Structure 1
Amino acid sequence: MSGQLQTSLRRQRGMSYWGWLMVVAVFGFVLTCVSKMGPAYIDAYYVDEGLRKLAENPSLRDLNRGEIKRELDRFFLINNVRGEPTKAVQVIRGADSMLVSVDYELRQPLIYNIDVVMKFNKQLNTAKADLCCEPLVDLEQFRKRD
């Protein structure tokens, strides 16, 4: 009976040193990823919110490109969005609608020589304002013209 008790107690010792080291390493890696990539996703959230707020503007069709960019810049300034998202704003006017696009890519160093590339493409098409922020138009056709 005591042999079974010793075997049972040996199985219940808990995690070994190597097990705890693995848990700490995985937790550290996840924390590193969140701290490096989190700010980019927070900025993307505020870009999304800025486009939604712009879609609610009743006089959006009357604004020119500069005024639209100023409205977005004001929203970005209040919400501390800097860098690529603020530079990537494009306004394309059509005959009956307008497209406001914020399409950008960020490269963030993760560990040593490993980089993470994050792509964000948010669009506001005034013809389909209820579908705000989902990319509905391929902008490559417009870039080739420029």
Structure 2
Amino acid sequence: MKRSTNSRHRQKGMSSFGWIAVFGIFALLLVMFFKVFPMYYGNYQLKGALEDLAVDDRVDPKSKREIWTSLQKRLYINEVRSIKREHVKMERKDGKTTVTVDYEVRDNFIGPLFIGGHFVESTVIDR
């Protein structure tokens, strides 16, 4: 009886393997955060650029070139580089222009694995 009580008092904390496992999980979560956060931040910047585009009176809603140029400038200022011209679709119907951006972002994760996201944002220019 005395022997088992004595061994319980000797156990004080995690073993080195336990600490390595905790550190590994923490490092994996940290790497995931630094890979995923820029994707969502870029999408947040795109939403802001589309909202600004919808209220900007200097942009002619009938001109696809002017809409793309204005959107491209806003994205360039905000360091969003993942959106290309082929991701942007513009439709004019009943005096309203709908600008839709449908794009995918991929980033290397670990080895042959990657992390990706698919985003679709749109705005209506009513002028």
TM-score range, shorter chain: 0.7 to 0.9
Could you tell me whether the CA contact under 8 Å between 1:108 and 1:117 is conserved in 2? yes
Q: Which residue of 2 aligns with 1:144?
A: none
5+ residue gaps, structure 1 = 128-146
Q: Give RMSD over aligned pairs.
A: 2.4
Q: Which residue of 2 aligns with 1:10?
A: 10
Q: How many percent identity over aligned positions?
A: 27
Q: Distance in 2 between matches of 1:86 and 1:100?
A: 14
Q: Which residue of 2 aligns with 1:141?
A: none
Question: Is 1:42 aligned with 2:37?
Answer: no
Equivalent residue of 1:73, what SS?
A: helix
Question: Is 1:86 aligned with 2:54?
Answer: no
CA apart distance, 1:70: 1.1
Q: Distance in 1 between matches of 2:107 and 2:115?
A: 5
5+ residue gaps, structure 2 = none
- Residue type at the aligned position of 1:10: R
Equivalent residue of 1:111, what SS?
A: coil
Return the TM-score normalized by structure 2: 0.80
CA apart distance, 1:4: 8.8
Q: Which residue of 2 aligns with 1:107?
A: 106
The alpha-carbon distance between structure 1 residues 10 and 55, as it changes in their structure 2 partners (threshold 3 A), is farther
Alignment size in residue pairs? 124
Return the TM-score normalized by structure 1: 0.71
